[in-house]
Amino acid sequence: MKRLVPYLILGLLAVGCFSLATVLQARAYGWSRRAQADNILKVLLGDGRRLFANHFFIQADVSFHSGYYPSIFDQARAAQGSRHLTAEEGDPAHEEHEKSMDFLGPPRDWIERFGRHFMVTDHTHLHGDNESEILPWLKISAELDPQKVETYTVAAYWLRKLNKAPEAEEFLREGLRNNPNSHEILFELGRLSAEYHHDPARARKMWELGLRKWADQEAAGQKPDLFHLDQLAVHLARLEEKEGNLVRAIELLQLAIKATPHPEALQRQIEELEQRRAAHAPGASPPAR
Amino acid sequence: MNTIFALANVVIKELYRRKDFYVLFVLTAVLTLLLGSVSFFQDIKVVRYVKEIALLLIWISALVIAIATTARQLPAEREHRTIFPLLAKPVTRGQVILGKFVGCWLACGLALVVFYLFFGVVSGSREHSWPVLNWLQAFWLQWSMLGIVVALVLLGSIVFTAPSSNATICFILVLGILLLGRHLNQVALQQPEPLRSVVYGLYFFIPHLEWYDVRDLIIYDHQLIGWGDCALASLYAGIYAALLLFGAWLLFRRKPLHL
């Protein structure tokens, strides 16, 4: 019997531990925010992970340029922001980006001249299937900082281009869950509805909601980006024009004029729509043949 | 020459007896394979992030192996008092320095061969292309760079008493050069005189290890580097390694060996 006593004590302690664990586990879950973290990165890095998120977003940009990217020492002369990541050829943002990425300049000495044989010195962008190479970095960046909205919009843009609309929608919905007030994500979701699902009603809902969110942010003094107001208003105006709601389309274009850097083109479109509305108005005389 | 290779042989044996290399290789392999197995947006063609991470881990591991292996060579010989019978063979102090250098450099080369074979298999199997010449260039340039690092650490092991302080200082120096070396001239031009001349002088004085980091060219499938440029870079590395070894020999020649 004496021999058994230590084993019995051990067994008793083990049972005690097990019983306590079943009681405490449920309570311990609520003790700290860290315990509620739903992925390993949150548990390991806590809020510090947001610091790394930007690094991975930049890594996506580096990958997009096949390694040709300004260092912190070149950045005064190089591109800032991420709009070039989604700019089409011919866009002003694209042209501006092309100019600003000529950051290397002529070599200052023989060491720099020789060193350029061992580094990427051509400004190129990914094309074809290679464009998907930036996606892992964007996904990691979103995991690290779910509040970084541009990660979702840039990834969705490329996923759309790569004919991966369902993945783009899923990723944008994840972004919207993390950023319910983001008009940028709502705009991208609207584009998916309009261009992929061909569902103008849903696209309208998204863009109208996006406009409201933009207005709420402006009212709260957050100075939201005018570029996105322009995008939302113009896309919604096109949709309303297609649906025959010319009055609403004109209103939206007038809203876009306040935000666009090129108001002349929009003004011409408004005038065209005004003419069409006048022609369709009840009592208007039929056009002369 | 036989003496030098006999000494080098001991260092190489030490590499495969110690666990440093195995631990670093397994860590690199596990991390690379784990990340490679992740599917991002159901796209199996994405490969560059795996290459990027694998090459980063290879660079870190190679630096750790080079610095840690070299930093303990001479202090360990002195601590265990095996330096005395070694010098009584007779082996000159210059041969000790050269033997240790050749041994550490070859050991780094062997480790790099294994790392690059692993990288080649992972990258080639996912990308379905085998740019062997590009990998060879990257391997050779990295190995040349490690020659300078090994020589620097050997010099450090004569200047500093403890291997830990030598390894730490050399790590900081090497990382500093790798990260800032390319931009030091830009920094210099923004300084007022006489600081400008001092920083520019430093820029010309430091070994430009960043030249040998051609990971971007491998990751993003760029063209081969000119063979002439590779040869010049190798010559530059050789001259720097010789300079540092000569400095190490000058200091070691008259250094008292008792602790």
pLDDT per position as a tens digit, B208-222: 999 999 999 999 888
Q: Of B209, B241, B173, B204, which Cα lies nearest the Cα of A111? A: B204
Given a cut of 70, is residue B50 above it in pLDDT?
Answer: yes
Mean pLDDT of B72-92: 84
Count of domains forming chain B: 1
Which chain B residues contact residue A164 at CB under 8 A? 41-43
Q: What is the pLDDT of residue B59?
A: 95
User: Does B140 fall in a domain?
Assistant: yes
A-facing residues of B in 162-191 (CB < 8 A) are: 182-183, 185-187, 189
Q: How far is B65 from chain A (nearest CA, A)?
A: 24
B75 lies in a domain? yes
A155 → chain B, closest CA residue:
B41
**Mean pLDDT calculated for residue range B235-259:** 88
Residue B63, pLDDT above cutoff 90: yes
Using an 8 Å Cβ cutoff, are A45 and A55 in contact? Answer: no
Interface test with A, best of B31, B45, B48 (most A CBs within 10 A): B48
Residues of chain A scoring pLDDT < 70: 29-43, 75-84, 87-95, 281-289
Residues 40-69 of A with CB under 8 A from B: 59, 63, 66-67
Between CA A266 and CA A176 the distance in angstroms is: 30
Is A116 in CB contact (< 8 Å) with chain B? no
Q: What CA–CA distance (Å, rounded) separates B51 from B32?
A: 8
Q: In this predicted complex, what is the ipTM?
A: 0.85
Contact status of A98 with chain B (Cβ, < 8 Å): no
In a domain, residue B8? The reply is: yes
- How confident is the model over B10-33, as pLDDT tens digits? 888 888 888 888 999 999 999 999
How far are the Cα atoms of B12, B56, B99, B249, B252 from residue B94, in angstroms, in the given order?
Answer: 19, 35, 8, 6, 8
pLDDT at residue B259, rounded to an integer:
59
> With an 8 Å Cβ cutoff, is B48 touching chain A?
yes
What pLDDT sits at residue B24? 92
Name the residue among A63, A114, A162 with its Cβ closest to that of B48. A63
Interface test with B, best of A63, A68, A111 (most B CBs within 10 A): A111
At residue A38, the pLDDT reads 59
The helix-helix angle for A226-243 and A246-259 (nearest 10°) equals: 160
Say how far residue A30 (Cα) sits from the centre of its chain.
32
Q: Quick one: tokens of A50?
A: 């947001």
Please give the structure tokens belonging to residue B141: 């340039």
Identify whether B189 is part of a domain.
Answer: yes
Dihedral (Cα; A38, A40, A43, A45), 10-degree rounding: -130
The pLDDT value recorded for residue B45 is 79
| 3-state SS record for chain A | CCCHHHHHHHHHHHHHHHHHHHHHHHHHHHHCCHHHCCCHHHHHHHHHHHHHHHHHHHHHHHHHCCCCCCCCCCCCCCCCCCHHHHCCCCCHHHHHHHHHCCCCCCCCCHHHHHHHHHCCCCCCCCCHHHHHHHHHHHHHHHHHCCCCHHHHHHHHHHHHHCCCHHHHHHHHHHHHHHCCCCHHHHHHHHHHHHHCCCCHHHHHHHHHHHHHHHHHHHHCCCCCCHHHHHHHHHHHHHHHHHHCCHHHHHHHHHHHHHHCCCHHHHHHHHHHHHHHHHHHCCCCCCCCC
- Region B164-174: mean pLDDT is 93
Pick the more confident residue, B115 or A121. Answer: B115
Nearest residue in A to B182, CA atom: A112
Chain B within 8 Å of A109 (Cβ-Cβ)? yes
Is B54 domain-assigned? yes
The nearest CA of chain B is from the CA of A110 a distance in Å of 10
Domain of B239, in residue numbers: 2-254
What was the pLDDT predicted at A39? 64
Q: Which residue has the tokens 């000495």?
A: A109
- Tell me how close the Cα of A160 comes to any Cα of chain B, in angstroms: 12
Contact by Cβ (8 Å): B74, B154:
yes
Which pLDDT belongs to residue A287? 47
Q: Does A234 touch chain B (CB under 8 A)?
A: no
Whether residue B78 is contained in a domain is answered as: yes
Residue A265 or B163, more confident: B163
Question: Which one, of B75, B42, B211, lies nearest residue A135 by Cα?
Answer: B42
Residue B171 confidence (pLDDT): 93
Residue type, A21: A
Asked whether residue B45 is domain-assigned, the answer is yes
Residue B259 lies in a domain: no
Q: Residues 144..163 of A with a Cβ closer than 8 Å to B: which?
A: 159, 162
Q: How confident is the model at residue B107 (pLDDT cuts 50, 70, 90)?
A: very high
Residue A128, pLDDT score? 72
DSSP H helices, chain B, are: 2-17, 20-37, 48-71, 73-79, 83-87, 93-127, 132-159, 163-180, 184-189, 195-205, 215-219, 227-253
Coil, strand or helix: which one is B56?
Answer: helix
Cα A111 versus chain centre, distance: 40
Is the CB of A139 less than 8 angstroms away from the CB of B232?
no
Q: What is the pLDDT of residue A198?
A: 86
